Structure 1
């Protein structure tokens, strides 16, 4: 039986929000490193760039994704942000054999790779967020091995993601994400690491909505901002 929370996120997956696909994965900028970078170039100068660096088996990251980040989809904030999700944030490349090491072991590398594939395959932000939400919901429950159930629950095809994963594309994308995280202006020392328009917000990540509202220069301001 689908939980009430997953019922909500299933509805989110059906929302008609779309974005322009970048060179790989969840890329919301034309070129260069994405968040926290001098080369950042948003598609829409009115929008706020919101980047979330995380590890797939990190409990604080899972909690943030399913408890806090959901707010932008349940309000009008999704129309004012370019959202970038970046898994693999605490992984690193072994310089001896060039293998990738994940903080929480091989299972995290597997789930990081799957989520990188989800970001790469689905061209609609609501759909890839819904899948990652579902994966992380299972992490909270200790049932992350059941990730394939998310595709049927959300009525999304799993074959393209499995093909991406089985061909190693998710790991290749992971190396790019690792490099991106390593070149942040403000090096992350915990996760999730949330960046709003080039600026990390540190321990204030749960209050990211306030930072989005302060950064947004469009008129009118989102209705949600009047509540913060």
Structure 2
């Protein structure tokens, strides 16, 4: 059972869509305020790359994804960002049998694998982020073994993700992610346009706004001076 707190967060996010016909419901997901048909053209130029390197059972990583990163989906900031989520940080491959060892044990490898599959099955950031958010929320509460609840809670199909997971595609893809994430001193590692912002990761909005050079400036950047040529 997903916690009442998580259910409330999702319910509030879905409030504008309560009267949509069920046949149309598949087009709408929590945090999916800017889906495939959304109008984002005014902000389409010169998007900022925001990359988050993390491990699924790292508490600072989970807290960042749930508490901080979700803010971009409740503002127009998402319109100027290319979001890249990269799990498997600080995991490594056992050269003897090619298995993957995760910093926080087998449960983390399982969740990393599932999140890897979500990222690769769905190009729509609103879908894979919603599922990862739910997984990480459970991880914060120590209930990561209940990950399957997230599919029903979000009305997302299990089959494509579980097919990826059970066919071991996730392990193969995971090894590619591991190659991207050299051992890191702390997690999460947040990069704006390929530049680390170090331990200032909770203030990523400032760095995104300062890096953005398109027009118009999103309302979320009000109060931050942006760099312009």
TM superposition score normalised by structure 2: 0.82
Match of 1:196 in 2: 192
Q: What is the correspondence of 1:113-132 to structure 2 with a 5 Å cutoff?
A: 113-132=113-132
Q: Cα deviations across residues 29-56 of structure 1 (Å, max 9, x unaligned)?
A: xxxxxxxxxxxxxxx7600000000000
Tell which deviates more after alignment, 118-127 or 47-56: 118-127
Q: Measure the CA separation in 1 of the matches of 2:198 and 2:218.
A: 24
SS in 2 for 1:3: helix
The reply on whether 1:4 has 2:8 as its aligned counterpart is yes
Answer whether contact 1:56 1:136 (CA < 8 A) is retained: yes
Match of 2:96 in 1: 96
More helix by proportion, 1 or 2? Answer: 2
Give the secondary-structure state (helix, strand or coil) at the position aligned to 2:78. helix
Gaps of 5+ in 1: 20-43
Matches within 5 A, 1:12-51: 12-18=30-36, 46-51=46-51
**Is the 8 Å Cα contact of residues 30 and 154 (structure 2) preserved in structure 1?**
no
Q: CA deviation at 1:8?
A: 4.2
2-side partners of 1:68 and 1:3: how far apart?
A: 18
Alpha-carbon distance in structure 1 between the residues aligned to 2:158 and 2:150: 9
Q: Is the Cα contact below 8 Å between 2:31 and 2:74 reproduced in 1?
A: no
Q: Give the distance between the partners of 1:45 and 1:100, measured in 2 at CA.
A: 39
RMSD of the alignment, in Å?
Answer: 1.8
Q: Following superposition of structure 1 onto structure 2, how do residues 115-194 of structure 1 map, counting pairs within 5 Å?
A: 115-182=115-182, 188-194=184-190
Distance 2:75 2:34 in 1: 14
Which one has the largest radius of gyration?
A: 2
The match for 1:37 is: none
Q: Aligned to 1:51, what secondary structure does the other structure show? A: strand
In structure 2, list runs of 5 or more residues that go unmatched.
Answer: 15-28, 38-43, 225-229
TM-score, L = length of structure 1: 0.83
Following superposition, the deviation at residue 97 of structure 1 comes to: 2.1
Q: Return the alpha-carbon distance in structure 2 between the equivalents of residues 76 and 175 of structure 1.
A: 34
* Aligned residues of 1:6 and 1:134 also touching (Cα < 8 A): no
Kept after mapping to 2: 8 A contact 1:18/1:125: no
